[in-house]
């Protein structure tokens, strides 16, 4: 049985970074690499649009500079308030979960 190295270890620091337009493939490729594309079922241009609108983010482990999560900020559905939003499609690398499966919230 091969042991996996933890994605985040004690003393590691993580950053949540707004994904720039030029980096939109980072979260897209992250999801595709985990073979979870069917759960998100969004084409690459949807990620580009979210990055252009400053709604796409990714989470990095600063110790390794590896991406460990991603998400998209979307409207809350309340048309009266342009300031309310929620995080949609939040996904973290399965290695950070004890069960070994990707987590979606």
Per-residue pLDDT band for 56 (boundaries 50, 70, 90) equals: very high
Instruction: Please give the Cα distance from 7 to 57 (Å, whole number).
Output: 18
Instruction: Name the percent of the chain in helix, strand, coil, to the closest 5.
Output: 25, 30, 45
Instruction: Please give the Cα distance from 74 to 84 (Å, whole number).
Output: 9
What local confidence, expressed as pLDDT, does residue 104 receive? Answer: 38
Domain presence at residue 103: no
Check: CB of residue 81 under 8 Å from CB of residue 72.
Answer: no
Structural domain of 49:
14-96
Its pTM stands at 0.72
Phi–psi pair at 22, nearest 5 degrees: -70, -15
Domain presence at residue 37: yes
Hey, how many other C-beta atoms are within 10 angstroms of the C-beta on 33? 11
What local confidence, expressed as pLDDT, does residue 99 receive? Answer: 43
Q: pLDDT by residue (tens digit) across 18-51?
A: 999 999 998 888 888 776 656 567 788 888 999 9
Task: Specify the number of domains making up the chain.
Answer: 1
Residue 79 sits in a domain of what CATH number?
A: 3.40.630.30
Between 76 and 96, residue with greater pLDDT: 76
Per-residue pLDDT band for 11 (boundaries 50, 70, 90) equals: confident
What local confidence, expressed as pLDDT, does residue 18 receive? Answer: 93
């Amino acid at each position: 049985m091969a042991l996996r190295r933890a994605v985040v270890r004690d003393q590691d620091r993580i950053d949540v970074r707004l994904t720039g337009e030029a980096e939109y493939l980072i979260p897209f490729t992250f999801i595709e690499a985990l073979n979870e594309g069917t759960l998100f079922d969004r084409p690459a241009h949807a990620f580009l649009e979210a990055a252009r609108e400053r709604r796409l983010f990714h989470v990095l482990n600063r110790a390794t500079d590896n991406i460990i999560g991603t998400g998209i900020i979307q409207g809350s559905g309340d048309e009266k308030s342009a300031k309310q939003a929620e995080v949609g499609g939040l996904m973290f690398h399965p290695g950070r979960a004890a069960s070994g499966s990707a987590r979606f919230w």
